[in-house]
Amino acid sequence: MATAKLGQLEEVDLRAIWGDESRDFTPWLAEHLDELGAALGLDLNLIEQEAGVGPFAVDILAEEDEAFVVIENQLERTDHGHLGQLLTYAAGRDARTLIWITPNFRDEHRAALDWLNRWTAEEIRVFGVAVRAVRIGDSLPAPEFRAVAFPNNWSRRSAIRSNRSQSAAAERYREFFLPVVTDLHERGHTNRTEPTGKNAQYFNSGRSQRIGSYSTVLRDGSGSARVLAWLTPDNDRAVFDLLHRERSEIESELGAELVWERLAGHKWSTVSLRCPFDWSMSDDDLEEIQQWMIGWIPKFKRVLEPRLNRIAEELEREQLEGVSSGLDGDSSD
């Protein structure tokens, strides 16, 4: 009997793949959240890179089950600074899930995450994730995420089961959203070239991205397809309220009545347009929904983005004036 020839798994230096954490690794991770989610059993949807938290910025802001997820990553051994940043960003965004990614966890920092999981409320989940890259022979390097700290009720086995059960649904979503993302990319409305296997697809929102983002969503349970603007509060002022003051002008420009929702218990609100949706619809009806999304996303951006840009500028100006005022108040004669 012939002996099978097997390759040897080799670890690859992460810096050889991602030379810079912020310029290389964070953008890559933002486009591959499904791989991280598969390792943790989470359905992660990207909201924004470098999302504002006061004068700071979290590497990646995502959402799962309509709750914020903050992701802090580094390509070096863990340090106190990144632990402090993770907690600061989670508090600033009222996140329910915290994820710290690094190739090398100090025992003390892993113990700190375990302590948080033991003593925080059950709905707060803290993950420490070790990342590495491997290859066999001359193959392309492949990323590998491994949870080294996780909530008490989490297990790798449940993550694997979750990943398997989600695979069929993920392929269905990719197939549905492919013509939507392709068309919007070709017309310059998004940098995204491929859809994710999620029920929501998020699109860039320019300067205003730290207070708002756009998406298309399929809600099978509630039987609707939606085009949404997600709005987050800043400087203790609700962006939703500032935008809602212009409701009549916005709806007049769009030529449609929108659904305005301040979501209780969440750190965002939504403005949306909806149409009926069900997977049992005919192919022609589903194609009509795709075209409906393709038509409305650019309209949302055209009408809402200038207003969100203006609101972002107003909030930035107020923040700077507040800092300046505070410094003046601290000065002595």
Q: Which pLDDT does position 296 carry in this prediction?
A: 95
pLDDT above 70 for 208: no
Residue of 203 and 297 predicted with greater confidence: 297
pLDDT above 90 for 254: yes
| Of the residues 122, 154, 186, the one at which a domain ends | 154
Q: Residue 38: give the domain boundaries.
A: 12-154
Alpha carbons 297 and 277: distance in angstroms, whole number: 17
Q: Which pLDDT does position 106 carry in this prediction?
A: 94
Would residue 137 count as lying in a domain?
Answer: yes
pLDDT above 80 for 168: no
Would residue 32 count as lying in a domain?
Answer: yes
**In the chain, what percentage of residues exceed pLDDT 70?**
83
Alpha carbons 32 and 107: distance in angstroms, whole number: 27
Work out the average pLDDT over 133-146: 85
171 and 113 share one domain: no
pLDDT-wise least confident of 26-40, 144-158, 176-190: 144-158
| Of the residues 128, 154, 180, the one at which a domain ends | 154
pLDDT above 50 for 333: no
Mean pLDDT value across the chain:
83
The CATH number of the domain holding residue 284 is 3.30.1460
150 and 185 share one domain: no
173 and 306 share one domain: yes
Q: Which pLDDT does position 211 carry in this prediction?
A: 63
19 and 121 share one domain: yes
Would residue 262 count as lying in a domain?
Answer: yes
pLDDT above 80 for 162: no
Would residue 329 count as lying in a domain?
Answer: no
Please report the DSSP string for 121-184 in residue order.
-TT-EEEEEEEEEEEETTSPPEEEEEEEE--TT--HHHHHHHHHHHHHHHHHHHHHHHHHHHHH
* Residue 7 CB contacts under 8 Å (≥ 6 apart), including other chains: 136, 137, 139
Would residue 2 count as lying in a domain?
Answer: no
| Of the residues 133, 154, 175, the one at which a domain ends | 154
Domain count, the chain: 2
84 and 24 share one domain: yes
Would residue 322 count as lying in a domain?
Answer: no
Q: Which pLDDT does position 235 carry in this prediction?
A: 44
pLDDT above 60 for 157: no
Output Rg (C-alpha) for the chain, integer angstroms. 22
User: CB atoms < 10 A from the CB of 187, how many?
Assistant: 11
146 and 179 share one domain: no
Say how many Å lie between the first and final Cα of the chain, rounded. Answer: 92
175 and 304 share one domain: yes
Would residue 239 count as lying in a domain?
Answer: yes
* 38, amino acid identity: A
Alpha carbons 44 and 32: distance in angstroms, whole number: 10
pLDDT band of residue 125 (cuts 50, 70, 90) is very high
229 and 116 share one domain: no
pLDDT tens, residue by residue, 270-293: 899 999 998 889 999 999 999 999
306 and 183 share one domain: yes
Residue of 318 and 237 predicted with greater confidence: 318
Residue of 175 and 196 predicted with greater confidence: 175
89 and 83 Cβ atoms separated by less than 8 Å:
no
DSSP state of 277: -
Q: Which pLDDT does position 13 carry in this prediction?
A: 92
pLDDT above 70 for 164: no
User: CB atoms < 10 A from the CB of 179, how many?
Assistant: 15
Work out the average pLDDT over 257-273: 79
142 and 172 share one domain: no
Q: Which pLDDT does position 267 carry in this prediction?
A: 58
Closest CA to 132 of 27, 11, 265, 252: 11
pLDDT tens, residue by residue, 60-89: 999 887 789 999 999 999 999 999 999 999
H or E element that contains 327? helix 283-330
Alpha carbons 189 and 166: distance in angstroms, whole number: 29
User: CB atoms < 10 A from the CB of 63, how many?
Assistant: 23
Q: Which pLDDT does position 292 carry in this prediction?
A: 96
Would residue 309 count as lying in a domain?
Answer: yes
**In the chain, what percentage of residues exceed pLDDT 90?**
40
Q: Which pLDDT does position 163 carry in this prediction?
A: 54
The CATH number of the domain holding residue 82 is 3.40.1350.10
171 and 149 share one domain: no
95 and 204 share one domain: no
